[in-house]
Amino acid sequence: MSKDIAYKKIKTTIPEDAFISHIDNLLGAANHVTLKVTIEDIKVYESDNTMFVLMDMSDMSGKVKGLMVGSRGDKDFKSLVDDIYVGKKCKAHGKYCLLDADSCDVELPFELDDNRLFCIQAFQDLDSIQLYGVDITRLYNYDLEKAYSFVKENTNYFEGVSFNKVKNILFSVYKDIIILLKDGSLLFNGKKRLDNIREIVFLSGLSIFAISNDNTIKCLTGDWDSVKFLNANNYKYKKILYSPLVIVALGYDNNIKLYGTITDHVIDSERFVNVKDIGYVEENDDIVVIKDGKAYSLFLEHDYTNEVPEVIVEGSWNDIYIIE
C-alpha cells in the first residue's frame, strides 16, 4: 500500500469556499486538491481488515481514478461507501498522485490504467439534503427511539412529551418533522396540525400520508391533484391497505383508488370497480381484490383461476398493513 494513502481518514465535510480544480489541469502531484465530479463506476476491494474503494470520476474536463481507503470494521466508513452510486455528484478533496515503481511498498489489490490516482481525504455528497447535520435519507431509516432522541436533541418539539407518548416519527425531503402521538395528535414541525390520526404512512420523502381513525387519507407533504383525488374531500374509506410502495383504498361504492409506486405493474380497470374486499396473499407477496367470491391479483402478478389462495383481510404481515 502506498505510504501516501495509508493514513487517509475519510471525512464528510469540505469547506464551501474550497477552490475547485479541473482534472485535466492537474499536471503533476499536488496536495489539497478539491474536485467536483460525477461517479461513473465504483469497485470495492478488501484485503485483511482494509477496504479499498476505487472509483472512476469525471468532471467537465476529464477523468481520473479516485481512491478511498478505510477499515472494514468502521461502520461510518462502510455507511459512506454504501451511499455511493453511479451517477452520484460529489465534491472530493485529497491528494493528486503520479505513481511510479517506487510509490508502493506492498502490492495493491487492483491495477490502474495509468499512473494517475486521486487519493481522497474528504468526500461530500452534492445531492445530500441534511437536517441538523444528518443526511435526510439516513433519517428515513431511524427507528422510533433513535428518531425521538434526534428530535429531542435538536428541537424543543418534545417539551413535556415523553417517549412513551409517541407513536411514530417521520421526516420528509422538505426537512419536515412529522410526529404522531398515541392520543392521535399529529405535530408538524412542532405545531399541532391534526387530531384523530391512526397512522402516518411513508411512501417516500415526498409522499407522507396521515390516515385518520375514520379512514380519511390526507397527504402531509403536498397538495397536488393526485393526492386531492385520493383525499376526495376527506372521504371516509371502507378499508385501506398500505405498504412501503402503495396505498390501496376501498370505498363504500366498491371502487378502488390507488396512490404509490407502481412501476412495472399492469393495471386492469375491471379490478378497480365492483370490489367487495381487498387483501393480501402472503405466499405470493400479492395484493388482491375479492370479486364475486373470487380473488384476483390487483396488479396481475398471479393467476388464481385454478386455486383458492389464503387471503389476509385484516391486520399486518411483513410490510403490508390493512385497516378498516
- Terminal alpha carbon distance of the chain: 61
Q: What is the pLDDT of residue 14?
A: 66
DSSP result, 35-80? EEEEEEEEEEEEETTEEEEEEEEE-SS-EEEEEEEEETT-HHHHHH
Q: Is 15 exposed, middle or buried (0-12, 13-18, 19+ CB in 10 A)?
A: exposed
Per-residue b or e along 124-156, where b marks 16 or more CB atoms closer than 10 Å to that residue's CB: bbeebeebeeebbbbbeebeeeebbebbeeeee
pLDDT number for residue 7: 33
Determine what percent of the chain is predicted with pLDDT higher than 90.
55
**At 266, is the secondary structure helix, strand, or coil?**
coil
Nearest Cα to Cα of residue 285 among 250, 245, 251 = 245
What's the pLDDT score for residue 15? 64
Q: Which cell numbers hold the place of 128?
A: 445530500
Work out the mean pLDDT of the chain and round it to a whole number: 87
DSSP character at residue 18: P
| Euclidean distance between CA atoms 192 and 176, whole angstroms | 13
Alpha carbons 156 and 94: distance in angstroms, whole number: 39
d(CA 184, CA 166): 10
pLDDT of 198-239, one tens digit each? 999 998 888 999 999 999 999 999 888 889 999 999 999 999
* Nearest CA among 134, 151, 140 for reference residue 76: 134
**113-122, 136-145, 165-174: which is most confident:** 165-174
**Amino acid identity for residue 68 in this structure:** M
What percent of the chain has pLDDT above 70? Answer: 90
271: which DSSP letter?
Answer: G
